[in-house]
Structure 1
Amino acid sequence: MQLYNTLSAEERARLIDEAGKERITLSFYAYAKIENPQQFRDDLFLAWNPLEALGRIYVAHEGINAQMSVPADQFEAFRNTLEQYDFMRGIRLNVAREQDDHSFLKLTIKVRHKIVADGLDDATFDVTNKGIHLKANEFNQLLEDPNTIVVDFRNHYESEVGHFKGAITPDVDTFRESLPIINDQLKDYKESKNLLMYCTGGIRCEKASAYFKHQGFKNVYQLEGGVIEYARQVKAENLESKFIGKNFVFDNRLGERITDDIISQCHQCGKPCDTHTNCANDGCHLLFIQCDECATKMDHCCSTECQEIIHMPLVEQINLRKGQSNSNKIFKKGKSEALKFKHSGALSDVSLAKAKPENDLTIRQKIATKKVLVGNGEHYYSKSQVALFLLSNKEIALGDSLLISGPTTGEVEFTLEKMLVNGTENSTAQAGDKITIELPFKIRKSDKLFKITKK
């Protein structure tokens, strides 16, 4: 019984391309009392995996939080899997405004302590005692009330590229940090002000609204469906968008444009820009904003230090990463002394430039690697650190850029400098040949060998 993803992101992307099917990116959440989250998690995987549904899903005793990609022709079948549970019958699915078939490339369902980490340990707190939900038009109207305070319950890297005009935008890395900060900041307005809140899809401000009611705030409201649903209603009803800029999303797109206003800057040169990327150094992956010019100049890195590292021999890069865990301690969310034009906390509503269509391509899309499958892993000789591959397609030659990809190995790119072809040193190899290459890491039979044809 398969209960976990077995394909690499690269393999899944290739299958999606070969299938040629339209996919729908969506998100949803529900607070509910789930007695056995692990069993719930396994049941969902067994229901969704045959549908080729992909995504990042968290389940806990308090409910479910999901961001997903589903084949369009399986959409109704997917919806039917949700209808099997009382608390998800008729659930609102937030469909992305901008579709990308590669928004998610794995089906990952994790059991967590909470679906939204809040740092709270209060048995009297009832997350279902939520604030009043407002649709886009109602939200706009309440924004105009001078007695209203609007709060962004997203993180600094989200609000920097887009937010509602006049919103309080806490300078925080996580949702849990924002609760005590806002509670202290607004403690004198518990009865006199309308507390209006929003987030990406509704899940964070749903919990926040219940928290602030628990803290004694009388007039608590939240944007139903978050910025995603707000943007849909604004377009459908021809409303004025009070949200300016881009809505950060947690998939490979890293953002959906709501208005054509660019309100943030390239963190390296200060040019108007709202394109997020991750540092190309595998030991960093810092999330930051980078324009095309700086991406070229800095090789898609966040700093000169990282730029120097990516040009080191592969074995040296691997040695530098030894002992480091791939966690938030390594992958920081956009805060570094190297980012001179990073802004967070109190943010401006001023538009710095207008976006063009090409602005909305992520750095990942702009530098998408073009490659062709040329062979498969056969064996790894540990003592001599030599990998054996069987070529099944195309010719390769010394000087070619190659990429090894596999579920355990990950993705490793290198330049072919030396190889043995059928046991003899040679400069070229053809389909059907067996080649051996010195590599400082173990390969597996599940690994694929690609030839990079374009960067």
Structure 2
Amino acid sequence: MQLYNTLSAEERAALIEESGKQRLTLSFYAYANIEDPQAFRDSLFVTWNKLEVLGRIYVAKEGINAQLSLPADNFYAFKDHLDTIPFLKDIRLNVAVEQDDLSFLKLTIKVRNKIVADGLDDATFDVTNKGVHLGANDFNKMLEDPNTIVVDFRNHYESEVGHFKGAITPDVETFRESLPIIEEQLQDYKEDKNLLMYCTGGIRCEKASAFFRHKGFKNVYQLEGGIIEYTRQVKEENLESKFIGKNFVFDGRLGERITDDIISQCHQCGKPCDNHTNCANEACHLLFIQCDDCKASMHNTCSAECLEVIQLPEEEQKALRRGVNKGNMIFRKGKSDKLTYKHSGVLSDTPIATATKPVRARIRKTLIGKGEHYYPKAGVGQFTIEQGELKAGDKIIISGPTTGEQQLTVENMRVNGNEGAVATAGDKVTFNLPFRVRLSDKLYRVL
């Protein structure tokens, strides 16, 4: 019985691309009493793996928290399976505002002590005594009430690219940090103010609202379904979006656009930008905002030091990383003194630019090879052709978790070190590139 992944992220990405199937990204959570989380986890993996579900799911005795993607064709089979689980029957599924077939590349279901790391002792208060849930229309109305205080219960890197107008945006890296900070900041308003809270999908507010009611706040409200459900209702009911900018998400997309407003800047040059990336130096992997120009000039790195590191041979880079325990820094290490234009804490509601909507079209392509090396001083990428062939003049796509999807035409190339016009399986091919190639990158020929 398969209870774990057998394919790498890169292999899975290739299969998704080759299948041509459109996938849905969605999320849900539920608090419930799960007697045996490990057995529950294993049963989910067996069923969901067959349905080609990919994602990050946490299971605990207190319930489940799931962010995932699956082929659109399997949606109803997936929903039918959820309905066989009593506490998940008819559960609302938050469908992503923007879809991306590569939002998740592995199925990871982990058993945890809690489905959200809140740092709270649940035995000390009634976790079921939650705040009043508000839909988008009622949430908007309460925002207009001068007696309302609205609080963002997400992290600094989330609120920087998008938040509700007038919201308090705590300068924190984790959810657990925000609870005592907000309690201290609002201690004088327990009796006479409306405490209105929101988060991405609603799960953080479920516990936070009960905590603040326990702490003596009389009028506690929370956004039903979080920003994701709010956006759906705004579109369906033709309401004004009081949320501006992007909604940060914890998958390969790193964000979904809610409004065309850009309220943040490239952390390196200051241009209006709200696209997050991770530093290409694997020993750093800093999460930061980077515009396309800086991405090209800095080769997807956050600093001159990291740019220098990625120019070293891969073995030297591995040697520098050896013995260094990075931990899970992908979404937590969001600050650095190298980021001149990083903002957190008190944020502006004033847009500084308007986003242009990309034109997306499905491109037919076939996988022919993988990335091997990049020579930054020469601006040359090296690939191994694994199947099919590549000819000078072919249109190609280079795709990877960090690289994104880059399309270009191969003008001239070298095959096995010599000038050549055709490369076939087994050949090493090099050609000029304006960006860095990584071992995780795949080479596709556009059909």
Normalised TM-score (structure 1): 0.82
Residues 230-241 of structure 1: pairs in structure 2 closer than 5 A = 230-241=230-241
Residues 258-273 of structure 1: pairs in structure 2 closer than 5 A = 258-273=258-273
**Aligned mates of 2:366, 2:154 — CA distance in 1:** 37
Q: Which moved more, 1:331-340 or 1:151-160?
A: 331-340
> CA deviation digits over 1:46-104, x for unaligned, max 9?
11010101111011111111111111111111011111222111111000111111111
How far 1:248 sits from its partner (Å)? Answer: 0.7
Q: 1:426 to 1:233 in 2, by over 3 A?
A: closer
SS in 2 for 1:42: helix
Question: Corresponding residue for 2:69?
Answer: 69
**Aligned mates of 1:301, 1:118 — CA distance in 2:** 32
Q: Does 1:203 align with 2:200?
A: no
SS in 1 for 2:27: strand
Number of positions where the alignment pairs a residue of Structure 1 with one of Structure 2: 406
Q: Does 1:171 align with 2:171?
A: yes
Segments of 5+ residues of structure 1 without an aligned counterpart are 362-369, 376-388, 397-402, 406-415, 420-424, 436-446
How far 1:121 sits from its partner (Å)? Answer: 2.6
> CA deviation digits over 1:122-150, x for unaligned, max 9?
51223222111000000001111111110
**Aligned mates of 1:259, 1:433 — CA distance in 2:** 47
SS in 2 for 1:68: strand
Question: Corresponding residue for 1:22?
Answer: 22
Question: Corresponding residue for 1:97?
Answer: 97
Which amino acid in 2 is paired with 1:252? G
Which amino acid in 2 is paired with 1:279? C
SS in 2 for 1:285: coil
Residues 159-308 of structure 1: pairs in structure 2 closer than 5 A = 159-308=159-308
Contact 1:284 1:330 in 2 (8 A): no
Question: Corresponding residue for 2:342?
Answer: 342
SS in 2 for 1:357: coil
Q: 1:312 to 1:418 in 2, by over 3 A?
A: farther
Question: Corresponding residue for 2:404?
Answer: none
How far 1:390 sits from its partner (Å)? Answer: 11
Segments of 5+ residues of structure 2 without an aligned counterpart are 371-383, 392-397, 401-412, 429-438
Q: Does 1:146 align with 2:119?
A: no
Which amino acid in 2 is paired with 1:67? Q
> CA deviation digits over 1:132-177, x for unaligned, max 9?
1000000001111111110000000000000001100000000000
Residues 318-333 of structure 1: pairs in structure 2 closer than 5 A = 318-328=318-328, 332-333=332-333
Q: Which moved more, 1:78-87 or 1:131-140?
A: 78-87
Question: Corresponding residue for 1:4?
Answer: 4
Q: 1:231 to 1:41 in 2, by over 3 A?
A: same
Q: CA RMSD in A?
A: 3.3
Contact 1:391 1:430 in 2 (8 A): no
**Aligned mates of 2:106, 2:36 — CA distance in 1:** 24
**Overall identity of the aligned pairs, in %:** 69
Residues 102-141 of structure 1: pairs in structure 2 closer than 5 A = 102-141=102-141
Contact 2:165 2:244 in 1 (8 A): yes
Question: Corresponding residue for 1:310?
Answer: 310
**Aligned mates of 2:91, 2:252 — CA distance in 1:** 24
**Aligned mates of 1:189, 1:19 — CA distance in 2:** 55
Contact 1:22 1:71 in 2 (8 A): yes
Q: 1:4 to 1:219 in 2, by over 3 A?
A: same
SS in 1 for 2:10: helix
Which amino acid in 2 is paired with 1:110? K
Q: 1:96 to 1:331 in 2, by over 3 A?
A: closer
